[in-house]
Amino acid sequence: MQIANTDYAGIIFDMDGTLVDSRLDFTLIRHELDCPEGIGVLEFIDTLPRDRQPAAREVVLRHERNGAMKARWMPGAKACLERLAANGIPTAILTRNAREITALTIERLGIPISHWLAREDAPPKPAPEGLLSIAADWQMAPATLAYVGDFKYDLLAARNAGMVGVYYNGDGRNLHGHLADRIIHHFDEL
């Protein structure tokens, strides 16, 4: 479904696959962890025996760190953030990445966002708590905010938080558009 209103009080972004291309190879991560399809990597790690979880988390961190070092801006994302800032629209990031990786990516690319939450700060998406925490920090109603992401967990988190879910369909495959309130193919559309 497409929502015509594009006036948002604030916009929250996913990071990997949305603002930046970190080239994370989820197929390889899943293979290294022996993680079956249909379950999130973080959720799978939580099902492992406690003594196996640290090593599994280290596999994910290794891939995330490598991705942070290779990360590049998605086309138009930096200019979009700059336009939002120039217009006084608050922005934030909510990611399933680790805090240290998020900080590294933001610093390395100079992402002009100071408000962000990582997986240590809130239950991972699709849980709404991270988005609701940002809305509370901004003292804004969730319905006035948009969450932009490239994956089903992003759109489900937006829906669970009562926010507008904007699907960034940069690759044109439209795998998760059915879960979105709005679809964009380039950041100029936002």
Number of residues in the chain: 190
CA-to-CA separations, 74 to 20, 35, 170, in angstroms, rounded? 5, 28, 8
10 Å CB burial of residue 56 (0-12, 13-18, 19+) is: buried
CA–CA separation, 94 vs 146, rounded Å? 12
CA–CA separation, 78 vs 84, rounded Å? 10
Structure tokens that stand for 76 in this block: 């138009």
Per-residue pLDDT of the chain (190 residues; tens, 9 = 90+): 334 446 899 999 999 999 999 988 889 999 999 999 989 999 999 999 999 999 999 999 999 999 999 999 999 999 999 999 999 999 999 999 999 999 999 999 999 998 999 999 999 999 999 999 999 999 999 999 999 999 999 999 999 999 999 999 999 999 999 999 999 999 999 8
> What structural domains does the chain harbor?
10-21+72-189 (3.40.50.1000), 26-70 (no CATH)
